[in-house]
Amino acid sequence: MPELPEVQSVVNYFKPLLSEEKIHKITSPNGYEKVFDTHSFLNINIVTKSLRINDVFRKGKYIVLELSKGYLCIHLRMTGQLQMDIREADSLKHCSFAIFFESGKSVYFRDYRKFGRLYYYKDLDILNDKLGVEPLSDKFDYDYLLGRVKGSNGMIKPFLLNQKHIAGLGNIYIDECLWLSKIHPKKIASRISKPKIRVLSDAIPKILTQAIEFNGTTIINFSYGNQVTGDFKQFLNVFGKQGEACPRCKTILKKIFVSQRGTHYCPKCQKV
Ligand SMILES: [Zn+2]
């Protein structure tokens, strides 16, 4: 599932390609009209007709196209991928939507599992209400994280997955951050020591920044754009490494399930 670094990499790739483009029409090549979450197929075309894309940016795990009026927001969910134009050999079976521009360019949304969605909002209030601070912004620091965990009696892994606390984190980078901070994924958030919260508050932006530099991680069938793939996989320490030795203490890494999510950790470095 694409997380903050993957979504940021998609944004970095598409921003120069889509900026200034004017929307001609939006279609659903495979007829999956549920992809238009906030509007009917007809209405999404009425509200976006001839609007210009002024900017492309990321908010949490959403790709936001800032239009001359309102915002088109894309959530990739599990398997969504964006692709510029289309080649004759490409099947349209998994293309839930396509945006055609007045210039003749087009962008296709390919989504095998069909959980991805397109939203149109007049403003970003709904997303602002849903999402906590951006982990790469000045608002995220030790004091913010400490304040948030203090009020939480749940386990740290689901706490970090909850987009209301920190926007954009997901399974892969949470496992990596917890390993780096020597915190067990099932540890009750409010009981984690202050020094470890400090390490965690440094680890989160550090790992995300590194992952963005390498265009994210390719695992779980993630790719975007044309011929651009993520390269962060080589730097993972625990995610997907169950049965291998911990890079720090050589203990065999384990995989368990926390909140139904596959979770990787070192039983020696990360004690409950
Ligand atoms: Zn270890």
The verdict on whether 255 is a catalytic residue reads no
9 and 126 in a common domain: yes
Q: List, for residues 89-142, the tens digit of each pLDDT value.
A: 678 899 999 999 999 999 999 998 999 999 999 999 999 999 999 999 999 999
The pLDDT assigned to 27 comes to 96
The verdict on whether 3 is a catalytic residue reads yes
Q: Which residues of the chain have pLDDT under 50?
A: 219-222
213 and 246 in a common domain: yes
Single out the residue of 58, 64, 23 nearest to residue 44, CA to CA: 23
Which domain CATH number covers 189? 1.10.8.50
The pLDDT assigned to 227 comes to 55
Indicate the residue among 130, 154, 187 that finishes a domain: 130
Range of the domain at 161: 142-265
86 and 13 in a common domain: yes
In a domain, 135, yes or no: no
Dump the DSSP string for 186-218: TSBGGGS-HHHHHHHHHHHHHHHHHHHHTT---
189 and 126 in a common domain: no
The pLDDT assigned to 38 comes to 97
Indicate the residue among 81, 108, 130 that finishes a domain: 130
Which domain CATH number covers 29? 3.20.190.10
Tokens of residue 249, six digits: 């203490």
161 and 48 in a common domain: no
Q: Is 76 left (phi over 0), alpha (psi -120 to 50) or beta?
A: alpha
Q: How far is the CA of 152 from the centre of ligand 1 (A)?
A: 26
The pLDDT assigned to 264 comes to 98
In a domain, 220, yes or no: yes
The verdict on whether 213 is a catalytic residue reads no
Express the helix, strand and coil content of the chain in percent, nearest 5 each.
Answer: 30, 25, 45
Angstrom distances, CA of residue 77 to CA of 81, 90, 110, 190 = 9, 22, 12, 29
Q: How far is the CA of 12 from the centre of ligand 1 (A)?
A: 35
153 and 78 in a common domain: no
The pLDDT assigned to 39 comes to 96
152 and 125 in a common domain: no
Q: How far is the CA of 83 from the centre of ligand 1 (A)?
A: 40
Domain count along the chain? 2
Question: What gap in Å lies between CA 217 and CA 198, rounded to an integer?
Answer: 26
In a domain, 271, yes or no: no
Q: How far is the CA of 260 from the centre of ligand 1 (A)?
A: 23
HSE, side-chain direction, 13 A CA sphere, residue 138 = 0
Strands, sheet with 80-84, edge to edge from the N-terminal-most edge strand: 23-27, 95-101, 106-111, 80-84
In a domain, 249, yes or no: yes
258 and 162 in a common domain: yes
Identity (one letter) of the amino acid at 140? F
In a domain, 272, yes or no: no
85 and 159 in a common domain: no
The verdict on whether 6 is a catalytic residue reads no
HSE, side-chain direction, 13 A CA sphere, residue 232 = 30
